[in-house]
Amino acid sequence: LTGVEVAWRGEVGSEELERLHAAGFERRESPYDWRGQLERHSLGWVTARADDGALVGFVNVAWDGGVHAFVLDTLVDAAWRRQGLATRLVRMAEDRARAAGCEWLHVDFEPHLTDFYLEACGFTSTPAGVIALT
């Protein structure tokens, strides 16, 4: 995939990330301190920028401070989907988490993304659980 640059811990503005995130998860945009959250709580993140500088992809890698890292907020701009970009972003997340000494990379997802995470990205399916706290 040409015309896009992928970076670990690349510069990212809260506003542009909120725009991408809100569009991807089909919700309204609202002011949010993404930069603060990432700096405080993430092992790192991956950005994808088009040649014109636009943020077109993102993956957040949260961390327990030990050997567990967690993929969150995998996002690709609608115009850039189905070209392997998200797969590339997750692969960089995997490589960097491994390089940082993590031993496990976790993710959870909705059923329609099973092929993306298990086939394209190489995650193994495992029982997991979640409680909606609100």
Ligand X SMILES: CC(C)(COP(=O)(O)OP(=O)(O)OC[C@H]1O[C@@H](n2cnc3c(N)ncnc32)[C@H](O)[C@@H]1OP(=O)(O)O)[C@@H](O)C(=O)NCCC(=O)NCCS
| DSSP E strand stretches across 1-134 | 4-8, 42-50, 55-63, 68-76, 104-106
Sign of the alpha-carbon dihedral angle for 32, 60, 10, 29: negative
Nearer to ligand X, 2 or 101 (CB): 2
Q: Does 51 bind ligand X (CB under 6 A)?
A: no
List 46, 62, 75, 105, residue binding ligand X (CB under 6 A): 75
Nearer to ligand X, 39 or 119 (CB): 119
Smallest separation, CB 113 to ligand X (Å): 6
Give the bridge partners for 55, in sequence order: 49
Instruction: Kindly report the backbone phi and psi dihedral angles of residue 107, in degrees, each rounded to the nearest multiple of 5, phi listed first.
Output: -155, 150
Cα separation, 4 vs 79, whole angstroms = 13
Contact string 9-48 vs ligand X (x = CB under 6 A): ---------------xx-----------------------
Q: Does 61 bind ligand X (CB under 6 A)?
A: no
Q: Does 112 bind ligand X (CB under 6 A)?
A: yes
32: tokens are: 């949010």
Binding site for ligand X (CB under 6 A): 24-25, 74-76, 81-87, 109, 112-113, 115-116, 119-120
